[in-house]
Amino acid sequence: MIRFYFHHTPNPMKVALFLEETGIFYEVIPVDTFKGEQHTSKFRAINPNGKTPAIVDTEGLGEGPVTVFDSNAILLYLAEKSGQLLGRPADRGQLLSWLMFVATGLGPYSGQSAHFRRAAPEPIPYAQNRYLREAERHYQILDAHLKARKYLVSENYTIVDIAAWGWIDRANFVLGEGRLGEFSNIARWFAGIDARPAVARARAIAKEVTFKREMDDEARRNLFPQNYIPA
């Protein structure tokens, strides 16, 4: 069984979609990051980085339970273990390349763009411009890549599509309301992924759990504790 440590944010949603697509049995363990539950010693023993998602595979690989953190690592681990959504062996290089593109580029820059435009206590024009432009650049690369393609790797729906979907789903927060339409190939691809039945099931997970929603001082201190350490 997979114990799935979950919050309704882009990275955990990727894992939720994979689990729903593949039918792997899992148990949701909510982690309310707005309340600081990611900082407990119990959770830090699973993910020292204090972020969601994380999983514990209780069956493991024959030598006891396996713990995995970071959404893209989880996707790769589960796909390799289950033999699902990895694409063709011949596409392995492209799969790894685009998965790392999401992990090191699309995700971080999207997150920082949303942070400085929506969560920062005061506007910092340089940071807002820097991260927005980098997010746009990654969207441009994806948009060009998706021209005449149904999926991101070859003709197969893979964990790369799942990884990218988690962040493109938040395009309104990352780029601005309604701007996904400027990237027509991404918009077409996203509509196809978002219409999959597993997406609706993944979204339902967040509706079944009550999380703190207010971005108040408590939430900011729990989400960004390093901002409150005296210089």
Q: How do the pLDDT tens digits run along the chain, 231 residues long?
A: 999 999 999 999 999 999 999 999 999 999 999 999 999 999 999 999 999 999 999 999 999 999 999 999 999 999 999 999 999 999 999 999 999 999 999 999 999 999 999 989 899 999 999 999 999 999 999 999 999 999 999 899 999 999 999 999 999 999 999 999 999 999 999 999 999 999 999 999 989 999 999 989 899 999 998 888 876
The pTM (predicted TM-score) of the whole model is: 0.96
Phi, psi of 125 (to 5 degrees): -55, -40
CA 179 – CA 113 distance, rounded (Å): 14
Give the alpha-carbon dihedral of 186, 191, 196, 199, to 10 degrees: 80
Residues 74-89, buried b or exposed e (16+ Cβ, 10 A)? bbbbbbebeeebbbee
Given this model, what pLDDT does residue 154 score? 83
Residues with Cβ within 8 Å of residue 102, at least 6 apart in sequence: 72, 160, 163, 164, 167
**Beta-carbon count within 10 A of 178 CB:** 9
If you classify domain 2-84+200-228 with CATH, what class do you get? alpha beta
DSSP states along the chain: -EEEEE-SSHHHHHHHHHHHHHT--EEEEE--GGGTGGGSHHHHTT-TT--S-EEEESSTTSSS-EEEESHHHHHHHHHHHHT-S---GGGHHHHHHHHHHIIIIIHHHHHHHHIIIIISSS--HHHHHHHHHHHHHHHHHHHHHTTT-SSSBTTB--HHHHHHHHHHTTHHHHT-TTGGGGSHHHHHHHHHHHTSHHHHHHHHHHHTS------SHHHHHHH-GGGGS--
CA 191 – CA 197 distance, rounded (Å): 12
Given this model, what pLDDT does residue 227 score? 87
Phi, psi of 32 (to 5 degrees): -85, 95
Find out whether 218 and 35 touch, Cβ atoms under 8 Å. yes
Domain ranges of the chain: 2-84+200-228, 89-195
Angle made by CA atoms 182, 188, 189, in degrees to the nearest 5 = 115
Q: Which fold has domain 89-195?
A: Glutathione S-transferase Yfyf (Class Pi); Chain A, domain 2 (1.20.1050)
Given this model, what pLDDT does residue 229 score? 82
Helix axes 159-168, 10-22, angle to 10 degrees: 140
Given this model, what pLDDT does residue 231 score? 63
